[in-house]
Amino acid sequence: MGHFCINCGTALVTRVIEGREVEACPRDNFILWHDPKVSTAVVVEADGGIVLGRRAIEPGYGLWCLPGGFVNDDEDPAAAATRECLEEIKAAVELTGLIGVYHIPKTDAPSMVGIAYRGRLLDGVRPEAGAEMLEVGVFSPDSLPELAFPSHRTVLAEYLKSPAREEAAVLPLAGAAAPRETRPSRAQAVPRRRRTP
Protein backbone atom coordinates (compact mmCIF):
# COMPACT_ATOMS: atom_id res chain seq x y z
CA MET A 1 0.00 0.00 0.00
CA GLY A 2 1.36 3.39 -0.99
CA HIS A 3 1.83 6.25 1.44
CA PHE A 4 1.45 9.97 0.83
CA CYS A 5 3.10 13.12 2.11
CA ILE A 6 1.28 14.67 5.07
CA ASN A 7 2.29 18.15 3.84
CA CYS A 8 1.32 18.13 0.15
CA GLY A 9 -0.36 14.77 -0.56
CA THR A 10 2.24 13.63 -3.09
CA ALA A 11 2.91 9.89 -3.32
CA LEU A 12 6.05 8.98 -1.41
CA VAL A 13 9.02 7.44 -3.20
CA THR A 14 11.82 5.23 -1.94
CA ARG A 15 15.07 7.03 -1.10
CA VAL A 16 18.21 6.04 0.75
CA ILE A 17 18.77 8.31 3.75
CA GLU A 18 21.44 7.64 6.38
CA GLY A 19 22.07 4.26 4.78
CA ARG A 20 18.44 3.11 5.07
CA GLU A 21 15.70 2.76 2.48
CA VAL A 22 12.81 4.99 3.54
CA GLU A 23 9.72 6.52 1.98
CA ALA A 24 10.08 10.24 1.35
CA CYS A 25 8.31 13.03 -0.50
CA PRO A 26 9.93 13.99 -3.83
CA ARG A 27 8.63 17.58 -3.47
CA ASP A 28 9.48 18.54 0.14
CA ASN A 29 11.44 17.28 3.15
CA PHE A 30 8.84 14.88 4.62
CA ILE A 31 10.23 11.41 5.48
CA LEU A 32 8.08 8.53 6.73
CA TRP A 33 10.27 7.00 9.43
CA HIS A 34 9.06 3.59 10.57
CA ASP A 35 9.50 4.06 14.31
CA PRO A 36 8.83 1.19 16.72
CA LYS A 37 5.89 1.11 19.09
CA VAL A 38 6.62 0.94 22.83
CA SER A 39 5.04 -1.78 24.95
CA THR A 40 5.31 -2.97 28.53
CA ALA A 41 5.08 -6.30 30.34
CA VAL A 42 5.02 -6.95 34.08
CA VAL A 43 6.11 -10.06 35.95
CA VAL A 44 3.69 -9.77 38.86
CA GLU A 45 4.79 -11.79 41.89
CA ALA A 46 2.04 -13.24 44.09
CA ASP A 47 1.82 -16.16 46.52
CA GLY A 48 5.30 -17.36 45.57
CA GLY A 49 4.40 -17.49 41.87
CA ILE A 50 3.75 -15.35 38.81
CA VAL A 51 0.39 -13.92 37.72
CA LEU A 52 -0.55 -14.75 34.12
CA GLY A 53 -3.72 -14.12 32.15
CA ARG A 54 -5.27 -16.38 29.49
CA ARG A 55 -6.06 -14.23 26.49
CA ALA A 56 -9.65 -13.64 25.34
CA ILE A 57 -8.50 -11.83 22.17
CA GLU A 58 -6.19 -12.36 19.21
CA PRO A 59 -3.33 -12.65 18.80
CA GLY A 60 -2.81 -15.64 21.03
CA TYR A 61 -6.42 -16.36 21.95
CA GLY A 62 -6.55 -19.00 24.70
CA LEU A 63 -2.84 -18.81 25.50
CA TRP A 64 -1.29 -17.28 28.60
CA CYS A 65 0.62 -14.00 28.84
CA LEU A 66 2.06 -11.44 31.21
CA PRO A 67 -0.07 -8.37 31.86
CA GLY A 68 1.07 -5.48 29.71
CA GLY A 69 0.43 -3.56 26.53
CA PHE A 70 1.17 -0.45 24.52
CA VAL A 71 2.34 2.85 25.97
CA ASN A 72 0.22 5.85 24.97
CA ASP A 73 2.05 8.85 23.53
CA ASP A 74 1.36 11.00 26.61
CA GLU A 75 2.19 8.26 29.13
CA ASP A 76 5.23 7.30 31.18
CA PRO A 77 6.10 3.62 30.48
CA ALA A 78 5.90 2.71 34.19
CA ALA A 79 2.46 4.32 34.42
CA ALA A 80 1.39 2.38 31.32
CA ALA A 81 2.58 -0.86 32.93
CA THR A 82 0.50 -0.33 36.08
CA ARG A 83 -2.51 0.82 34.01
CA GLU A 84 -2.32 -2.35 31.92
CA CYS A 85 -2.28 -4.46 35.10
CA LEU A 86 -5.45 -2.72 36.27
CA GLU A 87 -7.10 -3.35 32.90
CA GLU A 88 -5.98 -6.94 32.32
CA ILE A 89 -5.82 -8.53 35.78
CA LYS A 90 -7.91 -5.92 37.65
CA ALA A 91 -5.18 -5.49 40.23
CA ALA A 92 -3.21 -2.57 41.64
CA VAL A 93 0.47 -3.41 41.26
CA GLU A 94 3.59 -1.81 42.70
CA LEU A 95 6.57 -1.94 40.34
CA THR A 96 9.66 -3.16 42.17
CA GLY A 97 12.31 -3.19 39.45
CA LEU A 98 13.27 -3.16 35.81
CA ILE A 99 13.94 -6.53 34.19
CA GLY A 100 15.10 -5.19 30.84
CA VAL A 101 14.46 -3.37 27.57
CA TYR A 102 14.05 -5.50 24.45
CA HIS A 103 13.69 -5.13 20.69
CA ILE A 104 10.70 -7.14 19.45
CA PRO A 105 11.01 -7.59 15.68
CA LYS A 106 7.86 -7.80 13.54
CA THR A 107 7.41 -8.46 9.83
CA ASP A 108 3.70 -7.64 9.47
CA ALA A 109 3.52 -4.64 11.81
CA PRO A 110 5.83 -2.00 13.31
CA SER A 111 8.52 -3.54 15.49
CA MET A 112 8.36 -2.80 19.20
CA VAL A 113 10.57 -1.74 22.05
CA GLY A 114 9.43 -3.79 25.05
CA ILE A 115 10.05 -2.62 28.60
CA ALA A 116 9.68 -5.34 31.23
CA TYR A 117 9.19 -4.71 34.95
CA ARG A 118 8.98 -6.74 38.12
CA GLY A 119 6.00 -5.97 40.32
CA ARG A 120 3.94 -7.19 43.23
CA LEU A 121 0.27 -7.07 44.13
CA LEU A 122 -0.62 -4.46 46.72
CA ASP A 123 -1.60 -5.91 50.10
CA GLY A 124 -5.01 -7.56 50.07
CA VAL A 125 -5.41 -7.37 46.28
CA ARG A 126 -6.47 -10.50 44.38
CA PRO A 127 -6.21 -10.56 40.57
CA GLU A 128 -9.17 -11.38 38.39
CA ALA A 129 -9.75 -11.46 34.66
CA GLY A 130 -10.26 -8.17 32.86
CA ALA A 131 -12.04 -7.76 29.53
CA GLU A 132 -9.08 -9.09 27.50
CA MET A 133 -8.61 -12.24 29.62
CA LEU A 134 -10.58 -15.46 29.95
CA GLU A 135 -9.08 -16.13 33.38
CA VAL A 136 -6.03 -15.40 35.50
CA GLY A 137 -3.86 -17.74 37.51
CA VAL A 138 -0.76 -17.81 39.68
CA PHE A 139 1.88 -20.20 38.37
CA SER A 140 5.00 -21.63 39.93
CA PRO A 141 8.08 -20.40 38.01
CA ASP A 142 9.04 -24.03 37.25
CA SER A 143 5.57 -24.94 35.95
CA LEU A 144 4.59 -22.22 33.48
CA PRO A 145 1.96 -22.83 30.76
CA GLU A 146 2.47 -22.18 27.05
CA LEU A 147 2.85 -18.45 26.49
CA ALA A 148 1.35 -16.46 23.62
CA PHE A 149 4.42 -14.36 22.79
CA PRO A 150 8.13 -15.14 22.33
CA SER A 151 8.94 -11.77 23.94
CA HIS A 152 7.18 -12.88 27.15
CA ARG A 153 9.22 -16.08 27.16
CA THR A 154 12.37 -13.94 26.87
CA VAL A 155 11.26 -11.70 29.74
CA LEU A 156 10.47 -14.65 32.02
CA ALA A 157 13.79 -16.33 31.21
CA GLU A 158 15.59 -13.12 32.18
CA TYR A 159 13.47 -12.76 35.31
CA LEU A 160 14.14 -16.35 36.40
CA LYS A 161 17.91 -15.90 36.28
CA SER A 162 17.96 -12.48 37.96
CA PRO A 163 19.72 -12.15 41.35
CA ALA A 164 16.87 -9.87 42.52
CA ARG A 165 14.40 -12.76 42.20
CA GLU A 166 16.69 -15.08 44.14
CA GLU A 167 17.02 -12.49 46.93
CA ALA A 168 13.24 -12.12 47.04
CA ALA A 169 12.89 -15.91 47.31
CA VAL A 170 15.22 -15.93 50.32
CA LEU A 171 13.44 -12.98 51.95
CA PRO A 172 9.75 -13.28 51.02
CA LEU A 173 7.33 -10.46 51.67
CA ALA A 174 5.62 -10.62 55.04
CA GLY A 175 2.45 -12.69 54.82
CA ALA A 176 3.38 -14.29 51.48
CA ALA A 177 2.06 -17.80 50.98
CA ALA A 178 4.34 -20.78 50.32
CA PRO A 179 5.32 -21.23 46.65
CA ARG A 180 3.02 -23.39 44.57
CA GLU A 181 4.53 -26.55 43.15
CA THR A 182 2.26 -26.93 40.12
CA ARG A 183 0.16 -24.83 37.79
CA PRO A 184 -3.29 -23.98 39.13
CA SER A 185 -6.21 -26.25 38.48
CA ARG A 186 -9.43 -24.83 37.12
CA ALA A 187 -10.52 -24.33 40.73
CA GLN A 188 -7.39 -22.30 41.51
CA ALA A 189 -7.62 -20.12 38.40
CA VAL A 190 -9.77 -17.01 38.72
CA PRO A 191 -12.31 -16.88 35.87
CA ARG A 192 -13.73 -13.66 34.51
CA ARG A 193 -17.03 -12.74 36.12
CA ARG A 194 -19.91 -12.98 33.69
CA ARG A 195 -22.26 -10.05 33.45
CA THR A 196 -25.95 -10.76 33.75
CA PRO A 197 -28.43 -8.85 31.57
According to the model, what pLDDT value does residue 177 have? 35
Mean pLDDT in residue range 4-22: 94
128 close to 56: Cβ distance less than 8 angstroms: no
According to the model, what pLDDT value does residue 68 have? 97
- Lowest mean pLDDT of 140-149, 152-161, 185-194, name the range: 185-194
Choice between 1 and 119, residue whose per-residue pLDDT is larger:
119
According to the model, what pLDDT value does residue 125 have? 92
Choice between 185 and 106, residue whose per-residue pLDDT is larger:
106
Q: Calculate what percentage of the chain has a pLDDT beyond 70.
A: 82
Does residue 187 register a pLDDT over 50? no
| CA proximity to 89, closest of 120, 48, 58 | 120
Q: Which CATH number fits domain 37-191: 3.30.565.10, 3.40.718.10, 3.90.79.10, 3.40.50.1370?
A: 3.90.79.10
According to the model, what pLDDT value does residue 1 have? 62
Domain boundaries, the chain: 1-33, 37-191
User: Which long-range contacts link 110-114 to residues 24+ away (Cβ below 8 Å)?
Assistant: 110/34, 110/35, 110/36, 110/37, 111/36, 111/37, 112/36, 112/37, 112/38, 112/39, 112/151, 113/36, 113/37, 113/38, 113/39, 114/38, 114/39, 114/40, 114/41, 114/151, 114/155
pTM: 0.76
**What is the rounded CA–CA span in Å between residue 94 and residue 117?**
10
